């Protein structure tokens, strides 16, 4: 077994919602993770402007995950980085701190996997971390769902949870058990219309959103 296993969950968290928590909980349990590192995006080059500020998104993440038993920390490096935010830079920085034997596990969604070949230096991601994917409704484990280069790379690197836990980087895993259909865009739209998003967002986060008048036109 490697010295440590760190699950990495990045995202805009604009706002954080219950699918984020469920995905993090699933992979932390599956891999017996020592740490969950939640990494709010700073200036993601592929996204439009974020609506909540960096500090507001960080606070929403803190509220959401503080109500769990997950061993989480909030990593500010993408928030504090100037210029465009690239995942490869984040992984390089984390690997330099974590050491060569720590299992680093990057968790992404199926929609992100389908665009992986557009990520900056995407093939080099495997030199620093494993990539685990949370399935979405309608996603199948077939190469036809993916760009050919991504499908080839993903399937040839497929590993078991045990292999991922016990090696530092380079493997992949798709969690069929997870299939969430929660959209932050739809949550923001509901909030703009004065609707509470119910079970989609932790109550503490909804209260924070309402108190700070977020996601209003």
What total number of domains does the chain contain?
1
CATH of the domain at 177: 3.40.50.620
The per-residue pLDDT for 54 is 92
Q: Does residue 56 fall inside a structural domain?
A: yes
Q: Which two tokens stand for residue 106?
A: 């990057």
Give the DSSP letter string of 98-110. H-SSSEEEEEEEH
Give me the residues of the chain with pLDDT under 50, please: none
Q: Does residue 88 fall inside a structural domain?
A: yes
Longest dimension (CA), the chain: 51
The per-residue pLDDT for 48 is 61
Q: Does residue 117 fall inside a structural domain?
A: yes
Where do the DSSP E strands lie in 35-128?
Answer: 35-40, 72-74, 103-109
Q: Which two tokens stand for residue 213?
A: 């008048």
The per-residue pLDDT for 43 is 66
Phi, psi of 86 (to 5 degrees): -120, 135
Are the C-beta atoms of residues 166 and 1 closer than 8 Å to each other? Answer: yes
The per-residue pLDDT for 45 is 57
The per-residue pLDDT for 20 is 94
Q: Does residue 68 fall inside a structural domain?
A: yes
Q: What is the pTM of this model?
A: 0.92
Q: Does residue 217 fall inside a structural domain?
A: no
The per-residue pLDDT for 2 is 56
Are the C-beta atoms of residues 164 and 171 closer than 8 Å to each other? Answer: yes
Q: Where in the sequence is the domain holding 9, given as residue range(s)?
A: 5-211
Q: Is 85 helix (H, G, I), strand (E, B) or coil?
A: strand
Q: Which two tokens stand for residue 66?
A: 């503080």
Q: Does residue 216 fall inside a structural domain?
A: no
The per-residue pLDDT for 126 is 98
The per-residue pLDDT for 42 is 85
81-107 b/e with 16+ CB inside 10 Å = b?
beeebbbbbbbbebbeebeeebbbbbb
Round the CA-based radius of gyration of the chain to a whole number and report it. Answer: 17
């Amino acid at each position: 077994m490697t010295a440590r296993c760190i699950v990495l969950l990045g995202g805009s968290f604009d706002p954080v919602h219950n699918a984020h928590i469920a995905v993090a909980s699933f992979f932390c349990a599956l891999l017996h993770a020592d740490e969950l590192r939640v990494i709010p995006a700073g200036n993601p080059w592929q996204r439009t402007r974020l609506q909540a500020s960096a500090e507001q998104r960080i606070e929403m993440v803190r509220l959401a995950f503080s109500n769990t038993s997950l061993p989480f920390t909030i990593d500010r490096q993408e928030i504090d980085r100037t210029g465009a935010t690239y995942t490869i830079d984040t992984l390089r920085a984390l690997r330099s701190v974590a050491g060569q034997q720590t299992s680093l596990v990057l968790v992404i969604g199926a929609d992100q996997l389908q665009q992986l070949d557009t990520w900056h230096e995407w093939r080099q991601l495997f030199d620093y971390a494993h990539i685990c994917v949370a399935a979405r409704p309608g996603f199948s484990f077939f190469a036809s769902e993916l760009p050919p280069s991504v499908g080839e790379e993903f399937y040839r690197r497929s590993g078991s949870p045990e292999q991922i836990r016990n090696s530092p980087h380079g493997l992949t895993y798709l969690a069929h058990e997870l299939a969430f259909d929660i959209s932050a865009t739809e949550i923001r739209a509901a909030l703009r219309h004065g609707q509470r998003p119910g079970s989609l967002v932790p109550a503490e986060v909804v209260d924070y959103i309402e108190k700070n008048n977020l996601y209003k036109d």
